[in-house]
Structure 1
């Protein structure tokens, strides 16, 4: 479970599903998902409320960083996506998906998917302010959770964490950035194999594949993030330049991500009862994981 950095935290306005804070020098910004699960049971997934809170946080922080830059502060900033739960994120809101599919509500699915890709693209683009994004994965990152981690410039994962794209279990594919971001790190045919296998791999295996940048011992993820920050502070201009080079050489346009969501929505709307029942079983498993036995066995 993520904890505060070694720097003295400075409180930021809190959103219902997020715990946010920053270092005393204002250059490292932490965003912990699932803050609402600290006091109640639930599912550590990308519920619409969580997606909305992340987008709001990104907008507010991005605007603040732009103001600081306009005032002459051009120092390198870091934004860290972490979790207050024992899972990083278990993926899309399958209960929401199932309900929309049963109702053939294309607009609801498309709006949700577009909001998700705007969020991952913002992390990929450094909030449009040159920030270096870091995913701190201290618990399982599945489906959309893995996509969110892949969208960040650096992935720090603790040992023993499971990460993967299990959407094929209900005959769907991960449509919120997985292919685009994977293909920047591994060969396209390997990306397809990973997406179509549904296999969940360990952080150790993903580190060997080059999909995890920093592998940290269990419980030392925060320290590993701080090491990344310190390393970047020694070469701030070079790191900022590399962001620009990456954007030119390996672009992931928002338009590409939005177009893929259209394919994802049309595929989802074709799913049959068998796939929907599989989604429902996975939803119950997510509840069971966080102790809500009444819902898990409903």
Structure 2
């Protein structure tokens, strides 16, 4: 990142690293700062709590906002080769086997709280940017889709593979995809369960900015600098977007309740597939950390 000398490490969280400009104009949030062999770069409950806690800590009340002051939040990853591999499939499998609807819905609700907050610009004065330098799958792609802008490096794997174990991505994928592509294309991406390259999703219009490997952070900083030169325009665009293309909280929660009920109806074959994927993720995270 070119302006690393301008950034300061802020409050410490167990699973995320945050670097911020001293004036608070931009924050870079790196998921999976606790990456280690066997630690899956997915939305474990602790990391989900840390992400929500940090976003809430930088959200300003309307009375605290300065006229014409635009801020930025960059969502990135500290895990080697992975942006985020999605929901905690190990937890899902456990809760489904226990038929624990309350805990499964509670997890899903926290995910919805996060993506809705990102999509609405933390109240309206923040532009959110996803920096994808490694694989973004399932819920990992969903958090990126919730952001205003997706910047991805070439050759990165991205997709929504939940259909492989009889499920669908229920934390915003359909709603956010339909703002970027047609509903027919959104359904195809979801129901085919294919893994795409970032290059392919750029051509489809899902990825906004595609850059060569190693140039993602510089591209994000250039984007931030450009937007800071016209802050009133981008603040107005936030407001206009939330009026013209809203993704409402009730819509997101309604879909995630369908997801919960679908998950609870899965049979043993689907759950065993989830558990195999968990083991593969653990093996892969160990290999990449090594």
TM class, shorter-length: over 0.9
TM-score normalised per structure 2: 0.95
Q: Secondary structure at the match of 1:91?
A: coil
Contact 1:51–1:116, Cα closer than 8 Å, also in 2: yes
- State the alpha-carbon separation in 2 of the partners of residues 250 and 7 from structure 1: 37
Which structure 2 residues correspond to residues 102-117 of structure 1 after superposition, within 5 A? 102-117=97-112
Give how far 1:4 is off: 7.5
Count of aligned pairs: 287
The question of whether the paired residues in 1 share the 8 Å contact of 2:153 and 2:212 is answered with yes
1:12, CA displacement in angstroms?
1.0
Asked if residue 243 in structure 1 is aligned to residue 238 in structure 2, the reply is yes
Counterpart residue number, 2:210 = 215
Q: Which residue of 2 aligns with 1:18?
A: 16
1:51 aligns to 2:45 (yes or no): no
Measured in 1, the distance between the counterparts of 2:3 and 2:216 equals: 10
CA 1:43–1:67 in 2, change beyond 3 Å: closer, same or farther?
A: farther
1:249 Cα deviation after fit: 0.8
| Offset from partner CA, 1:58-77 (integer Å, 9 cap, x none) | 111103x75641xx464110
- CA gap 1:223/1:4 in 2 versus in 1, 3 angstroms: closer
Match of 1:6 among 4, 7, 11: 4
C-alpha change, 1:33 and 1:66, in structure 2 (3 Å) is farther
Secondary structure of residue in 2 paired with 1:20: strand
Q: Name the residue aligned to 1:168.
A: 163
Once the two structures are superposed, residues 83-116 of structure 1 have per-residue CA deviations (whole angstroms, 9 ceiling, x without a partner) of 0002000000000000000000000110000000
SS in 2 for 1:289: helix
Alpha-carbon distance change, 4 to 169 in structure 1, aligned in 2, over 3 angstroms: farther
For 1:35, the equivalent position in structure 2 comes to: 33
Q: Residues of 1 paired with 2:230 and 2:165: CA distance?
A: 45
Q: Give the Cα separation in 2 of the matches to 1:33 and 1:124.
A: 18
Separation in 2, partners of 1:20, 1:243: 24
* Distance of 1:234 and 1:34 partners within structure 2: 32
Counterpart CA distance in 2 for 1:7 and 1:211 is 32
Cα 1:241/1:129, change in 2 over 3 Å: closer
Correspondence for 1:122? 117
**Alignment RMSD, CA only?**
1.6
State the Cα deviation string for residues 250-276 of structure 1 (Å, max 9, x = none).
100111101111100000001001100
State the SS of the aligned residue for 2:58: helix
Moved more, 258-267 or 25-34: 25-34
Which residue number corresponds to residue 69 of structure 2? Answer: 75
Contact 2:68 2:231 in 1 (8 A): no
Alignment of 1:79-98 (within 5 A): 79-86=73-80, 87-98=82-93
Q: How far apart, in 2, do the equivalents of 1:254 and 1:96 lie? A: 24
1:296 match? none
The answer for unaligned runs of 5 or more in structure 1 is 294-298
* Long gaps (5+) in structure 2: none
* C-alpha contact 2:37 2:286 (8 A) present in aligned 1: no
